[in-house]
A = this chain, B = another copy of it.
Amino acid sequence: MNARGIVIWFTGVPASGKSTIAAAVQKELSARGLAVENLDSDQVRANLSPNLGYTVEARDENTRRLAWMSQMLSKHGINVIVAAVSPLRSHRDRARQWCEQFVEVFVDCPTEVCQQRDPKGLYARAARGEVNDIAGLHMPYEAPNGAEVHCPTHRATVDECAQAVLDKLEEINCLHLL
C-alpha cells in the first residue's frame, strides 16, 4: 500500500467540541469505506499512559505519542483522527512535521460556553478548587495561527463543523485516496 493516510488533528480547550466533531467526521469517512482510526486522547492516555498526568511535560509527552502513532498508522494508508487539547503550537507543529498529510482543525469556543457545557464536569471540579491545570483556564492554550479548518462551535452546529472538515478533505483530494 503506497497512498498515505491523512491525519486530521482536532485541537481546542476542554469541552470545545473536539471529540463530538471528530466522531461525526469518523462516521462519514467510515461510511465512505475509508480506513480510519480515531485516536481519542483520553482513550490513548488510558491505554498508553495511565499515570501520565497533565503537567506541561506530560502534555508534551502525550502529544508526542499521539503524533508518533499517527505517523505510523498513516504511513500504512490508514486515515487518522486525533482529538486532543494539544495546547501548545509546538505540539501540533511536531505532529505536522511527522505526518505527510496533515489537517489541523481548530475547535474554537469561548471558555464561558465550555464552562456551561462541561460534559465531563471538569470546569465544575475547577470551580470547587479540585483541579487547577485546565488548558485555556489555568494553563496556556495557544490558538492555532494557520489551522486548515476553523470550527467555531458556539455558533456552528456539529454537522456544519464536520462538513467544513469534509469540504477541506475534498478540496485537497483526500477523500479519493482509496
Contact = CB atoms under 8 A, between A and B. Distances in A.
A76 B37 contact: yes
Interface string A75-87: 0111000000000
A72 B37 contact: yes
A68 interface: yes
Interface of A: 1, 35, 37, 47-48, 64-65, 68-69, 72-73, 76-78
Nearest to A68: B47
Nearest to A72: B37
Contact of A48 (B1, B65, B73): B65
A69 to B, nearest CB: 7
B76 A47 contact: no
